[in-house]
Structures are given as structure tokens and as C-alpha cells.
Amino acid sequence: MTASSRVAIITGASRGLGAVIARVLAERTYDLVIGARHPESLQEVADALARHGARVVPVAGDITDARVRGRFIDAARELGGLNVLVNNASELGGIGPLVDFDVARFGHVFSVNAGAPVALIQLAVPLLAERRGLIVNITSDAARGAYVGWGPYGASKAALELLTRTLASEVRDRGVSAVIVDPGDMRTGMHQEAFPHEDISDRPLPEVTRTFWHWLFDQTPSDVSGERFEAQAEDARWLQPA
């Protein structure tokens, strides 16, 4: 361990976009704390990342569990600190009209998509402040699109976007930055869950966002704080009006 080691936490990292972001960071010589609910697939990703020379700590469990969030922070501290926190873990909550939606399930969707990221951020800010670090919160175009059947998920992501913009202002004086990233439609497990009877092979794989992630992690965090980005925007026009 060295005090100069760069460290990142990525939630929802056992597949799809989270695994891609983790691989980009490993290639950039970050040590990693990665999380997901399923330990077997998470360990497979951890083993693959370690081949890049990174130290990787897998944390299996539900991100809404305070004990799991504590393990993320403890692991980052043991690796030497924290430079980047990526809140990628999300819950779709099912697709269907609001008039039929089980209102009791709102609590779970919002807890995963908005509450848990804020709770993890609260724990992470002291470490991030030591390194003038960056928080990346993953959103969706559903936060703006008012798509039929996507109401609870879209509302939770809209909440996350507002929370992120507010957070960016509140932690600026502590040297911590925060951005929102919409990765766009991709061929992922969650997207297939949203369209269970459709062929989604026309959607790009999450690797399509790699160029964006390399660009983002090249930036000085304070220069981009509070901004919203679309990772698949054409001609590298990633910055979008917040």
C-alpha cells in the first residue's frame, strides 16, 4: 500500500455498465472496491480486474443495508483512501402504469436508486475530501422522458439528479465534486428486464461508453462538478444541460 494509490468504489459492478467502469478504472491503475448482490458473479469480475494489476476488494450485499455500505468505506480506507465513488447500483422496480403500481414498492425503488447513494455519499465524503475526489451518480433518460410504464424508476432517477446537483453545491467548499451521467440505452440485464419479450440485440453493449469514461476521469473534478453528461452523445458532445 502507498499513500498515493488511487482508489475507487463502484456499486452494481458485477455486470454491465458497472463492470465496464471498473475495468476502465483498473486500466487507469486505480485500486477498487466493487459491490453487487451476487457474490459469485462479483468475484468473477474481481478476478478479471486483478489481472490488470489492481488490488480489488469485492463487497457482496444489498446497498440499502447500512452494514454493507460501511464495508465499502472500510475497504477503501484500508486501500489508502478514496478518489472516486460511482453509484451505479439501480432497481428497475417493474414496468407498468402508475394506476396499477403497488405504492408500497415506491419505498424500495427510491431506497435503492436515491436513498442508498446519498447514504453512501455521507460516509464517503470525509475520505473524498482528503483527495479532492469525484462522485459519479448514474441516471437515465427516464428521469426526463416521462415514459409510459417507467414512472417509479424515472421518478427515482429524477430525484437522484436533483440530489446530485444540490450535493455538488454543498460539498464544493470541502473539495468534493459530483456529476450525473446518463449512459444511454444499452444491451444490459436491466434493459432486458424492462423489455422481457423483445429482442434488444440492436442496443450497443456497455463498452460503447468507454471513451466517455476515459475522458471523464481525465478531467479535474472541480471543473465538471454539478454537470450532467450523456455518455453516448454524438461527436463527443457529452455535456448536457442540467
Q: Which sequence positions are flagged as catalytic?
A: 153
Distance in angstroms (rounded) separating the CA atoms of residues 88 and 233: 19
Residues in the chain: 242
Distance in angstroms (rounded) separating the CA atoms of residues 13 and 45: 8
Residues forming a β-bridge with 138: 181
Listing DSSP states for 31-87 in one string gives EEEEEES-HHHHHHHHHHHHTTT--EEEEES-TTSHHHHHHHHHHHHHHT--SEEEE
Distance in angstroms (rounded) separating the CA atoms of residues 101 and 94: 9
7 within 8 A of 79, measured Cβ to Cβ: yes
Listing DSSP states for 189-227 in one string gives HHHHHHSTTS--TTSPPGGGGHHHHHHHHHS-HHHHTT-
State the CB neighbour count (10 A cutoff) for residue 15.
18
Distance in angstroms (rounded) separating the CA atoms of residues 110 and 156: 5
Dihedral sign computed on CA atoms, order 165, 166, 167, 169: positive
Distance in angstroms (rounded) separating the CA atoms of residues 19 and 139: 16
